[in-house]
Amino acid sequence: MTESIQFWAVVPAAGVGKRMQSDRPKQYLELAGKTVIERTLNRLLEAGVFGAVAVAVSTEDPYWPELEVSRHPSVITAPGGKERADSVLSALKSLHGQADDGDWVLVHDAARPCITSEDIRKLIDTLADDPIGGILALSSHDTLKDVQGSSIVGTLDRRHIWRALTPQMFRYGMLKAALTEAEGNPAITDEASALELKGFKPKIVEGRADNIKITRPEDLALAMFYLEQQ
Ligand SMILES: Nc1ccn([C@@H]2O[C@H](COP(=O)(O)OP(=O)(O)OP(=O)(O)O)[C@@H](O)[C@H]2O)c(=O)n1
Ligand SMILES: C[C@](O)(CO)[C@H](O)COP(=O)(O)O
């Protein structure tokens, strides 16, 4: 690895949290005395590896400016977009002039507050010399069914199926180009899919099962439990 290569974090945090059905976007719900996004950002800042953390938030977000972390010297605020991929691209653009094309960017959902330094380090150490990059992922402990309507039409070979987590780690220039090219494509639900579309084969690095994405109401209690355990 070249000495001058830097690491940057990008945090998409402009979602509305439809599936959470709460009175505010889920990243602003309380989790053990702080908001979900504060917990997530604290974990990234504590890792001590990032030149800056670029956070994409909705331009109409009244909660973000109220948080002290929004004024942290290592935090950059960028305008969020319609879809997650648009928010990520906007945050990448906010790093223009600081990040070089060959630098690494780790994109991490605001809604994953249980990320550990151990997993961040594992991803970086595994992929630091990789030409493309890759993602934290989880294998399935369950048998996986192919379902049409409410009927099973087959059983999938789970050796080939992994659940995508974040952070997802790619080169700044390559990721920005891939997301720009894929703009408006609804199939791009993570960074790896933008790279896949260009014919690249990102790596998977096995992550911890406690790195959950808060998605539905019951996930908040689970995240609280994991934070207490860690
Ligand atoms: N236009 C969007 C949509 C999502 N996100 C972010 O992407 C991450 C993962 O998305 P998801 O869990 O789907 O969040 P929401 O879109 O908020 O949830 P829902 O799909 O239930 O509305 C979250 O941190 C979310 O804030 C974003 O930055 N910009
Ligand atoms: C990026 C991601 O968290 C990987 O699991 C996920 O794709 C984003 O959330 P969504 O539920 O697909 O919008």
Q: Residue 1 falls within a domain, yes or no?
A: no
> Which of ligand 2's atoms lies nearest the C-alpha of 189?
7
Overall domain count for the chain: 1
Q: Quick check: is 48 in a domain?
A: yes
Ligand 2 geometric centre to CA of 166 (Å): 8
Q: What is the mean pLDDT of residues 175-200?
A: 97
Q: Is residue 44 part of a domain?
A: yes
Mutation test residue for ligand 2: of 109, 165, 215, the one with most atoms within 8 Å of CB? 109
Task: CATH number of the domain at 174, please.
Answer: 3.90.550.10
Residues with CB under 6 A from ligand 1: 12-20, 27, 56, 80-84, 87, 109-111, 213, 215
CB 87 within 8 A of CB 81: yes
The token pair at 87 is: 């928010």
Is the per-residue pLDDT at 203 higher than 60? yes
Q: For residues 18, 23, 24 and 30, what is the CA-based torsion angle, rounded to 10 degrees?
A: -110
User: Nearest ligand to the C-alpha of residue 212?
Assistant: 2
Residue 3's pLDDT is what? Answer: 57
138 is a domain residue: yes
Pairing of strands 75-79, 104-107: unpaired
Ligand 1: atom nearest CA of 16 is: 17
Supply the range of the domain harboring residue 66. Answer: 7-229
- Closest to 216 in 3D by CA, of 49, 11, 22, 20: 20
Q: Comparing C-alpha atoms, which of 117, 147, 142 is closest to residue 207? A: 117
- Say how many Å lie between the CA of residue 111 and the centre of ligand 1: 8
The ligand 1 atom at the shortest distance from the C-alpha of residue 88 is: 28
The mean pLDDT value for 14-34 works out to 96
Ligand 2 neighbours, Cβ below 6 Å, are 84, 109, 164-166, 189-190, 213
Is pTM, for the whole model, over 0.90?
yes
Supply the pLDDT for residue 211: 98
pLDDT in tens, 26-74: 999 999 999 999 999 999 999 999 999 999 999 999 999 999 999 999 9
ipTM here: 0.98
In a domain, 154, yes or no: yes
Check whether 2 has a pLDDT greater than 90: no
User: Among 115, 189, 205, 211, which residue has the most ligand 2 atoms within 8 Å of its CB, making it the best to mutate?
Assistant: 189
2 within some domain: no
**How far out from the chain centre does Cα 45 lie?**
15
Q: What is the pLDDT of residues 138-187, one digit of tens each?
A: 999 899 999 999 999 999 999 999 999 999 999 999 999 999 999 999 99
DSSP string covering the chain: --TT--EEEEEE-----GGGT-SS-GGGSEETTEEHHHHHHHHHHHH--EEEEEEEE-TT-SSGGGSGGGG-TTEEEEE--SSHHHHHHHHHHHTBTTB-TTSEEEE--TT-TT--HHHHHHHHHHHTT-SSEEEEEEE-SS--EEEETTEEEEE--GGG-EEEEEEEEEEHHHHHHHHHHTTT-TT--SHHHHHHHTT---EEEE--TT-----STTHHHHHHHHHHH-
74 lies in some domain: yes
pLDDT averaged over every residue in the chain: 96
Higher pLDDT, 72 or 1: 72
